[in-house]
A and B are shown apart, each in its own frame.
Chain A
Amino acid sequence: MFENLAKAGKYLGQAARLMVGVPDYDTYVQHMRVTHPEQTPMTYEEFYRERVEARYGGKNGTSRCC
């Protein structure tokens, strides 16, 4: 029961962050560890800054509709 609630909370948190353009940090770290073990992953702070720049920096074009 509590496990399910915690899982649902985690889902909701991830969904809310992705709505504003920040994907899951743990997934990123795991991806870096598996595919690029020779590189140091960004810290959460660096990761967050990078995502903010990417969302509004024009690289991804329009992020929202009318």
Chain B
Amino acid sequence: MTASSSGATGKIAWFFVAILGAIALGYIALNRGETINAMWILTAAVCVYLIGYRYYSLYIADKVLKADGTRMTPAFRHNDGLDYVPTNKVILFGHHFAAIAGAGPLVGPVLAAQLGYLPGMLWLLAGVVLAGAVQDYIVLFVSTRRDARSLGELVKMEMGTVPGIIALIACFMIMIIILAVLAMVVVKALTHSPWGTFTVAFTIPLAIFMGIYLRFIRPGRILEISLVGFVGLIAGIMLGGQVAASPTWAPYFDLSGVALTWSLIAYGFIASVLPVWLLLAPRDYLSTFLKIGAIVGLAIGIVLLMPDMKMPAMTKYAFGDHGPVWTGSLFPFLFITIACGAVSGFHALISSGTTPKMLANEKEARLIGYGGMLMESFVGMMALISASIIDPGVYFAMNSPLAALNPSGLADVAAAASATVSNWGFVVTPDVLTNIAADVGEKSIVSRAGGAPTLAVGMAQIIHGALGGLGSMSFWYHFAILFEALFILTSVDAGTRAARFMLQDLLGLINPTLKRTDSLFANLLATALVVMAWGYFLYVGVVDPLGGINTLWPLFGITNQMLAGIALMLCTVVLFKKKEQMYAWVTIVPSTWLVICTMSAGWYKAFSSDPAIGFFAKANQLSSLLASGNFKPNAVFKSQEAVERVIFNNQIDGFLIVFFMIVVVVMIFFTVQACLKALKSDKDTAVEVPYAPLPANAEDILRGAVH
């Protein structure tokens, strides 16, 4: 890329990329009110990514970070052939992308589509180029210069012990909320769906078979058994169709949300205390390969099918604050609803995890950190397209809470939902809703919130259409559901384990015996605490009659963006300490934006007097309803206990938000303090590993890795 861009031909080529991007963006901007083709969106996005990568990330590499291609990297310094291995940049890109891409970029944009596709699209583009990719890249770079240390350690080294511990506690709590919200996406997708539930349950014996094969029959032959596993998955989806049609078997897999919640909690506990080779590792292989395959397949499908965007560019919810999918105004809530895909704080943990241990040359951090995040944004863009090519009426019927769609509790849910959604201005007939449900092999698609089913309907239309009608819609729908559920469940297992180790580290501060990972008691205790913590949020979200997604997702988005803000504050401190403060706007601008968005979103969620938005306002509204003695069980609240539970949960959520807001304020204080101290010093005070040249035979060692 650098070779081709140095000459005049390169400049001309980039000029044309810029022109093409401008034409595509202009076309999107001028075609309000008419349907446009998804290819315009995709073209505009790719041009913005290319230009952001070619110019802005190069500016960061050369001017801000002054990346030095001769400098020793941890991969060479600690080369052990295991954790620290200098790795070819393309292979490492794959590793890094597989680690950062999860359910986040698939769910957020689907929820944000209630505003229309334009706001989400613009935030995905601006957010990734100026904030998300910058964060991933600079954290990777900072960690590489500090022996590949983790985010918590980096904060401790550069900002002090207290901010370090605060960052660790915040990471742990964010992890719990992520696990709860991800598990809820699965519950919402599988409720009363025997087909989906069977295929997901089928992966457990399949993974155990793979685990035994990998351990005893042909140890470590990952790729061949993954191929067998993939065939098993396809067979599972087909068998699921039979099971759902069978009156004998279907009832066993036709589970309510609460039953699924308890199954998930029990499963999460068992899966994270079982030996990892038996269940966790083999399922990780299946889900990782399926994820990459499905993303590539979706991209090819969109290009082949070239679908029209049916969602308007902006809906009326972009101008008000009472959208049915989630409440709140465009600012600040768009910027926390789409977290992953634009900017995700969690990536700071990945960029300071395994990737810096394998980075061969710090110049390559640009491709892997910045480029990897651009790729994730592309995935988010495809999710936004998938949600926007389905009929807006169908979209709102699928994503709104039942309490809004069917407030009087009519028996014919499809008729009630179509009447409500049509009344909102998105005309849809009950037949359309029942026909789509029949097409995808489900009893009902009404109020399947959480993003996954909507994405699955969009993906099924794209893949089914692109393959010229090969396979049935119901097959591709359940393929898409399985693809999401599988890697969410892998995240839940692995996340529970990781959170358990984090908790044991924290508990070790109180009692050293609890830190020992070889103690069965300490392991079971920490695992149980972690499962109970996310299980609590999951359970209350599932039983919440007002719909848990619109409570939990903002909580997740706010905390994730706060973590990104904190990671960018760390980067700012590092730039000040390196005496590069004149370039620190690169991290100060996105960090400030994230602080503004998360603090105002947090403020609204906690203290807004509108009960539809504020947690405490909702609790107070319901409390006074109970106190007045006028409460009668209705379609939404079936009993007084249900009301009391919602009051209590809203209070907990409110306190959590306030806690996170305090964390951000404290971190801002430490950041300003560290920057002022760095300004007073007249020399570089950053705690980097001193310069050493790469080994002379670095190229040979690296080539040895690829022969």
* A interface residues with partner B (beta carbon < 8 Å): 7, 10-11, 13-24, 26-32, 35, 44-45, 47-58, 60-66
Contact present for A13 and B223 (CB under 8 Å): yes
Least distance between B103 CB and chain A CB atoms (Å): 6
Question: Do A65 and B94 touch (CB < 8 A)?
Answer: no
Could you tell me if B349 and A62 are in contact, using CB atoms closer than 8 angstroms?
yes
**A35 pairs with B346, CB closer than 8 A:** no
* 10 pairs from A and B in contact (CB 8 Å cutoff): A17-B222, A17-B223, A18-B95, A27-B85, A45-B219, A48-B219, A50-B82, A56-B280, A56-B497, A65-B346
Are B340 and A24 interface neighbours, CB within 8 A? no
Partner of A64, one of B79, B85, B281, B494: B494
Task: Say yes or no: A23 contacts B182, CB within 8 Å.
Answer: no
Query: Which residues of chain A come closer than 8 Å to B350, judged between CB atoms?
Result: 62, 64-65
Known contacts A48-B214, A58-B500, A60-B83, then 8 further A-B pairs from the complex at CB < 8 Å, ordered by chain A residue: A24-B705, A50-B82, A51-B82, A56-B276, A56-B494, A62-B495, A65-B100, A65-B349
* B598 close to A (CB within 8 Å): no
B354 touches A60 (CB 8 A): yes
Q: How far is the CA of A31 from the CA of B502 in the complex (A)?
A: 32
- Residues of chain B within 8 A (CB-CB) of A62 are 175, 346, 349-350, 353, 494-495, 498
A63-B289 in contact (CB<8A): no
Roughly how many angstroms separate A7 CA and B703 CA in the complex, as a whole number? 12
Q: Is the CB of A45 within 8 A of B220?
A: yes
B150 A47 Cβ-Cβ under 8 A: no
Which 7 A/B pairs are nearest by Cβ-Cβ distance?
A48-B220, A28-B81, A58-B501, A31-B81, A56-B276, A19-B98, A66-B104
- For A50, the closest partner residue in chain B by CB is B82
Bound together, the chains give a CA A10 to CA B90 distance in angstroms of 13
Contact B182 A63 (CB under 8 A): no
Question: Is residue B178 within 8 Å, beta carbon to beta carbon, of the partner chain?
Answer: yes
Known: A18-B95, A27-B704, A62-B498. A47 touches B220 (CB 8 A): yes
Considering the complex, which residues of chain B in the window 470-519 have a beta carbon less than 8 Å from any beta carbon of chain A? 490-491, 494-495, 497-498, 500-502, 517
Determine whether the beta carbon of A11 is less than 8 Å from that of B91: yes
Asked if B615 lies at the interface with its beta carbon under 8 angstroms from chain A, I say no
Question: How distant is A15 from chain B, measured CB to nearest CB, in Å?
Answer: 4
**Which residues on the A side are within 8 Å of B101 (C-beta)?**
65
Contacts of A64 in B (CB 8 A): 98-100, 102, 350, 490-491, 494-495
Which B residues have a C-beta under 8 Å from some C-beta of A?
Answer: 79-83, 85, 87-88, 90-92, 94-95, 98-104, 150, 175, 178, 182, 214, 219-220, 222-223, 276-277, 280-281, 284-285, 288-289, 292, 340, 344, 346-347, 349-350, 353-354, 358, 490-491, 494-495, 497-498, 500-502, 517, 556, 560, 704-707
Cβ contact within 8 Å between B222 and A22: yes
Contact B706 A63 (CB under 8 A): no
Complex alpha-carbon distance, A10 and B457, angstroms: 36
CA distance A66 to B499 in the complex (A): 13
Q: Which residue of A lies closest to B491 (CB)?
A: A64
Known: A23-B81, A54-B83. Contact between A66 and B182, CB under 8 A? yes
A49 to B222, CA, bound (A): 12
How near does chain B come to A54, taking the closest CB pair, in angstroms?
7
Q: A19-B292, A24-B705 are in contact. Are A61 and B82 (CB under 8 A)?
A: no
Closest to B171 in A: A62
Q: Are B497 and A58 in contact (CB under 8 A)?
A: yes
Within 8 Å by CB of B340, from A11, A23, A55, A66, lies A66
Residues of A within 8 A of B284 (CB): 20, 56
- Given A11-B91, A20-B288, A65-B101, A56 and B353 contact (CB-CB distance below 8 Å): no
* Distance between A11 CB and nearest chain B CB, rounded to angstroms: 7
Choose from B79, B150, B344 the contact partner of A31 (Cβ within 8 Å): B79
Measured between alpha carbons, how far is A27 from B501 in the docked complex, in Å? 30
- B87 pairs with A18, CB closer than 8 A: yes
> With the chains together, A52 CA to B498 CA distance in Å?
14
A41, B494: Cα distance in complex, Å: 29
Are B94 and A23 neighbours in the complex by a CB distance under 8 Å? no
Decide: B281 and A14 in contact? CB cutoff 8 A: no
Given contacts A28-B82, A56-B281, contact A14 B704 (CB under 8 A): no
Complex Cα spacing A15 to B88, Å? 9
Compute how far the CA of A11 lies from the CA of B502 in the bound complex, rounded to whole angstroms. 35
Chain A contacts for B353, CB-based, 8 A:
60-63
Most buried by B among A7, A24, A48, A65: A65
